[in-house]
Amino acid sequence: MHCSGAGRRTRLACGRGPPEEVDHLLPTMMLAARLSRPLSQLPGRTLSVCDRKNGTRHSLLFCSASWTPKGHRAYASEVNPAGSKAVLITGCDSGFGFSLAKHLHSKGFIVFAGCLLKDKGDDGVKELDSLNSEHLRTVQLNVCSPEQVEKAVETVRSSLKDPEKGLWGLINNAGISTFGEVEFTTMETYKEVAEVNLWGTVRTTKSFLPLLRRAKGRVVNISSMLGRMANPARSPYCITKFGVEAFSDCLRYEMYPLGVKVSVVEPGNFIAATSLYSPERIQAIAAKMWDELPEVVRKDYGRKYFDEKIAKMETYCNSGSTDTSPVIDAVTHALTAATPYTRYHPMDYYWWLRMQIMTHLPGAVSDMIYIH
């Protein structure tokens, strides 16, 4: 089967003849891949589809004879200079926040780097402070603490040369992650993750909005591809990131007439780059999880099933990209572009295609490909 797109021919090859019901899905699946980019720009990827009649699975391979690797996404070139614009970033102790603080400082921004562990002398805080720059200042900031958030607002306001000109940018980056199937996850865990990822984002945004409105500035919320598509064993995290997406949309509508632009960055898999999980951390979470399980859940699922799920989670420790620059570039564009995008998708093409299928096609189709 061949299709033509952007002057190129793209081939869909199947290892075995798919069942009739799968054959009917092929045009729809190909359409999903072409929603905003031609298939000729996608690397070869295998999708597995289940035949419900006999329980067998069939592999569908998207491949292109003329595909060539592409670099990072090229954003619109019309940008505004940083000048003396000030931004506040949450979660700068490590990961994306730490990298963003250094990068935006190098671009000329005045950076207020909110750090959870500043009062404990964390290594990341020490490295940022060691730059000895009047344009980069670390700030004690736990987004779960209303008192610390309000104190951070006062710190920023008093540090601005002209507070009436406001704060140009807020990057809500602070977040935590965990794993566990629904019956394995306590309500305390759900609340803990939501308090940081969702309510921390809402709390910090509400507190800084008066300064952002004065500058007609930018709000950039770090969500996730898991804020657009759910995944087994990640419900505590997915719930919060879906919430960040909804909050960002509502805020964007409300801020538009006031001149404040709101963008969402949805990173793909960057576990390896951010050291989000390690075997030791996974085992610690698993031990606590098993100890807290109700007896009926332990008995019904059994230790073998539980251990298999934990072992699968451990395989993700070194997965994903080791290069955070796509995320850094996306945030930078959202802060500097004359017309920033509503959503940024720094992820590889496998996850991008999967997200398009899971968000644009009927659930029965995406379930057949990825879940069943």
The reported pLDDT for the residue numbered 11 is: 37
Strand 169-172's sheet: what is its strand order?
A: 136-140, 110-115, 86-89, 169-172, 218-222, 261-265, 343-344
From first CA to last CA, the distance across the chain in angstroms is 25
Q: How far is CA 61 from CA 39, 44, 350, in A?
A: 12, 7, 12
Series of mean pLDDT values for 10-residue runs along the chain (372 residues): 40 41 51 43 50 56 38 56 86 97 96 97 96 97 98 97 94 96 98 98 98 98 97 96 98 98 97 89 96 98 97 92 95 96 96 95 92 76
The reported pLDDT for the residue numbered 79 is: 57
Residues assigned a catalytic role:
237
Q: For every residue of 128-151, which 3-state class applies, written as one string? A: HHCCCCCCEEEEECCCCCHHHHHH
Q: How far does CA 336 lie from the centroid of its chain? A: 20
Contact 271, 318 (CB under 8 A): yes
The reported pLDDT for the residue numbered 82 is: 64
Crossing angle between the packed helical segments 349-360 and 26-33, to the nearest 10 degrees: 120
Backbone φ, ψ for residue 6 (5° rounding): 50, 35
User: Whole-prediction pTM value?
Assistant: 0.81
What is the rounded distance in angstroms from the CA atom of residue 60 to the CA atom of residue 188? 41
The reported pLDDT for the residue numbered 56 is: 59
DSSP string, 256-324: GGGT-EEEEE-----HHHHT---HHHHHHHHHHHHHHS-HHHHHHHHHHHHHHHHHHHHTTTT-S-S--
Q: How many residues does the chain have?
A: 372
Residue ranges of domains in the chain, CATH in brackets: 1-68+348-372 (no CATH), 86-276+334-341 (3.40.50.720)
Contact 82, 107 (CB under 8 A): yes
